[in-house]
Amino acid sequence: MNVELPEVDGVITADDIAASARHLLDLQTPSGMIPWWPGGHCDPWNHVETAMALDVAGHHSAARRAYDWLADIQAADGSWHNYYLPDGDRDNTVEEAKYDTNVCAYIATGAVHHVRCALEDVRLATARDMWPMVRAALDWVLAQRRDDGLVLWAVTDDDRPWDYALLTGTASIQHSLRSGAALAAEIGDARPDWLVAADHMVTAIVERPDAFADKSRWAMDWYYPVLTGALQGPAAADHLARGWPTFVMDGLGVRCVSDEDWITASETAEASMAFAAAGLIDQARDLLAWTRGHRCD
């Protein structure tokens, strides 16, 4: 592998990135699954996150194996269950059978990232390979819309939809729809219906917050509209600034929920990306630096 790894001076080094990638490679099973820990469970959302991390670190073949595993276990209707367990074969043993719409949509974000990390001479072929999986997943997700156009959070294993939509999930889904449309463009296709659906979701996020179940104590509802591009520019910066006193413990990171001093590396790192997206680089840098306290070196 010959790739220049990213680093942030004084915060995270290229060697740190390489070490994290080695940890993920050690977790990956022969099927391509990347469980949370050795022998642990795996959910498709975090699996896509780890595949993207492998691409960033230059391990494109391992990332492709991760996506191939998702394609192998995808249901005929385009969905995935919430959690799977390694079983020494296809690693498709279901631990939790619920279907989460945001989780199923997220493959589009990972796929377009994987394509754009690919070498130019295989980029088109990679996009074509990924397209059927992404198309099926997003079509299934949009089939779970309620009458106002928002996607219900989840579906039970006996196909009964839950009765509410989530702000964080909707923000992520609209981003995945835009990613899916970008992947379609890579192969000369077009999905304007996905863009229309994404725009409708952004309008709800900005203008109809009461359309979502109240999860405002969770940090993700604070920063996800910015992380996913639903809020941009000055509105995004103002939104993040208003939530900082509630969710950030200075020098430590981001509370998972506003009423508990429960700091997580994942929320802190995601919030860092949201601040960077809003142009608030100093705060983004501080947040990323605070994740060091959670790192096992």
Helix, strand, or coil here: 287?
helix
pTM value is 0.96
Number of Cβ within 10 Å of residue 84's Cβ equals 24
Predicted local distance difference test score (pLDDT) of residue 211: 97
Q: Is the pLDDT of residue 12 over 90?
A: yes
Q: What is d(CA 250, CA 287) in angstroms, rounded to the nearest whole number? A: 9
Distances (CA, A) of 231 to 112, 175, 196, 207: 21, 11, 17, 11
Tell the CATH topology of 14-213: Glycosyltransferase (1.50.10)
pLDDT 10s digits, 108-158: 999 999 999 999 999 999 999 999 999 999 999 999 999 999 999 999 988
The domain ranges of the chain are 14-213, 216-292
Distances (CA, A) of 39 to 4, 129, 226: 31, 29, 35
Predicted local distance difference test score (pLDDT) of residue 225: 98
Q: Is the pLDDT of residue 1 over 60?
A: no
Q: What is d(CA 260, CA 264) in angstroms, rounded to the nearest whole number? A: 12
Percent of the chain predicted with pLDDT > 90: 94
Q: What is d(CA 117, CA 128) in angstroms, rounded to the nearest whole number? A: 15
Give me the torsion for CA of 138, 225, 59, 119, rounded to 10°: 70
User: Which amino acid belongs to residue 157?
Assistant: D
pLDDT 10s digits, 76-114: 999 999 999 999 999 999 999 999 999 999 999 999 999
For all residues of the chain together, what is the average pLDDT? 97
Number of Cβ within 10 Å of residue 273's Cβ equals 15
Q: Is the pLDDT of residue 50 over 60?
A: yes
Percent of the chain predicted with pLDDT > 70: 99
Predicted local distance difference test score (pLDDT) of residue 2: 65
pLDDT 10s digits, 211-270: 999 999 999 999 999 999 999 999 999 999 999 999 999 999 999 999 999 999 999 999
Q: Which residues, in sequence order, are CB contacts of 279 under 8 Å at separation 6+?
A: 237
Predicted local distance difference test score (pLDDT) of residue 277: 98
Predicted local distance difference test score (pLDDT) of residue 158: 86
